[in-house]
Amino acid sequence: MAQAYCTVTARYLPNGRWSEVNKSNVFVAVIELKTTTTVKLIEGQKAEHIDIKTNVPPQLLCPTGNKGQCHVQLVATITANKECRCSENIVFPQLVIGWKPSLGYTKPFCGSSVTVGNWESMIQIPVKATVDGLYDKDMYRYVHVVAVITGSIIHKTETHDIGKVKVQIYNRDYKATCASVNDPHITSFDGLHYNNFQTGEYIMYRHKTLPYEVRAYYKPCSSRRPTGPSCNCGVAVRSGDDVITLTGCASGSSSLYQKHHDRGRGRHHNTANPITIKMFKNGQLTPGTRIRRLGCGQKYEVLLPTGTYITVQSSYLSFINIWITASSMDYKQTEGNNLIFRIMRFLHIIV
């Protein structure tokens, strides 16, 4: 970086003699990496940041001849021996680096910049663990920061090494599935198994802080046994301000259930029908939401922006089965009607 110093002399009157030249200490313009400890990232949780500080405004960092007109970019890159790949061109990095747009930069880059408005404050580069959906282990990477200074008059670029920061990434992808399988047998994310013979609408899954939710609708499996077991009739998936419904129940399904149940002596015949799907959108579908049909309309997958996905498949007759597979963003962040189901199951055991 640039170095500078000041000099001063005094003139004695009336004889006009000059004093000796007094020279200040050398001042060195620096951009310094303030984060010296390991940055810890937890998959599915908030971003952390790498701190950088400079002691001069960007004008004093410009290459010679640019009259204080230049751009100073703090470019961050990830160094790793090996990253997971889906193909030769698609890489799944363990972490991602943010970029905050600033005046004068039209093309995004990983990192931040030194400007007239921020040079006196701590400059922060955000880093966040990638929600990759991989059942891997804890990893570590290094983030390497360099200062790229480009003159606006003389288009010369200088690169200065700022340093490296170690980043520890903690995996939070676990094989956890919440399911409602007829008639219906329910499994929670934490592995509890129980039954629900009640009818109506229940919350199977709801994120505590994000706008994602799954509700299941149960109706009697047989019109002959209205107090008997209930079956999955439909499911509604909320993603942001949009709702996707998947319905399996058709007219007369309850009586058909009983007929096939009696004929099969307790074994349900696999006469699954296509699922009816509808979308209630407010403008464009919430970004990151995906819907996939598998087969001839008897199985669907709904992917939420968090990486959580819901599988809905036709069961016997017109009923459906529901599975919700959690992502790392669901770790300790979900709720639903599981407590109600558990209380009912407890009371049933007592009675």
The pLDDT, as a whole number, for residue 36 is 92
**280/312 same-domain check:** yes
* Pairing mode of beta strands 185-187, 177-181: antiparallel
**Residue 168, H or E segment:** strand 157-170
Alpha helices in the chain (DSSP H): 253-263, 338-350
**107/206 same-domain check:** no
Q: How far apart are CA 58 and CA 112, in angstroms?
A: 13
What amino acid occupies position 67? K
**214/159 same-domain check:** no
Tell me, yes or no, whether 19 lies in a domain: no
Tell me: the pLDDT tens digits for 130-189? 887 777 788 899 999 999 998 888 888 899 999 999 999 998 877 888 999 887 788 888
Q: How far apart are CA 286 and CA 266, in angstroms?
A: 43
The pLDDT, as a whole number, for residue 290 is 94
**146/108 same-domain check:** yes
**In the predicted model, what is the mean pLDDT of residues 211-218?**
92
Q: How far apart are CA 129 and CA 31, in angstroms?
A: 26
Q: How far apart are CA 180 and CA 97, in angstroms?
A: 39
Sequential DSSP letters for 100-134:
---TT--S--SEEEE-TTTTTSPEEEEEEE-----
**In the predicted model, what is the mean pLDDT of residues 272-294?**
89
Other Cβ atoms closer than 10 A to 351: 5
- Cβ burial, residue 209 (10 Å; 0-12/13-18/19+): exposed
Tell me, yes or no, whether 5 lies in a domain: no
Tell me, yes or no, whether 8 lies in a domain: no
Q: How far apart are CA 344 and CA 44, in angstroms?
A: 33
**185/110 same-domain check:** no
DSSP class of 229:
-
**164/190 same-domain check:** no
The pLDDT, as a whole number, for residue 87 is 67
Tell me: the pLDDT tens digits for 3-47? 667 888 888 877 778 888 888 888 888 899 999 999 999 988 889
**230/133 same-domain check:** no
The pLDDT, as a whole number, for residue 269 is 46
| Last residue of one domain, picked from the residues 121, 151, 170 | 170
The pLDDT, as a whole number, for residue 215 is 93
**42/143 same-domain check:** yes
CA atoms within 13 Å, Cβ hemisphere of 40: 1
Tell me, yes or no, whether 1 lies in a domain: no
The pLDDT, as a whole number, for residue 85 is 74
Verdict on whether the full-model pTM lies above 0.85: no
**CATH label of the domain that carries residue 319:** 3.40.1000
Tell me, yes or no, whether 246 lies in a domain: yes
The pLDDT, as a whole number, for residue 152 is 87
For residue 59, which phi and psi values (nearest 5 degrees)? -60, -35
Tell me, yes or no, whether 13 lies in a domain: no
Tell me: the pLDDT tens digits for 251-282? 444 443 444 444 444 444 445 678 899 999 99
The pLDDT, as a whole number, for residue 84 is 76
**154/245 same-domain check:** no
| Last residue of one domain, picked from the residues 123, 142, 170 | 170
The pLDDT, as a whole number, for residue 250 is 62
| Most confident residue range from 50-59, 80-89, 149-158 | 50-59
Total number of domains in the chain: 2
Tell me, yes or no, whether 116 lies in a domain: yes
**29/156 same-domain check:** yes
**Residue 258, H or E segment:** helix 253-263
3-class DSSP state for residue 256? Answer: helix
**186/328 same-domain check:** yes
Domain that holds residue 102: 25-170
Tell me, yes or no, whether 20 lies in a domain: no
Q: How far apart are CA 255 and CA 220, in angstroms?
A: 10
**CATH label of the domain that carries residue 47:** 2.60.40.2030
Tell me: the pLDDT tens digits for 334-347? 888 654 444 444 43
**184/247 same-domain check:** yes
| Last residue of one domain, picked from the residues 130, 145, 170 | 170
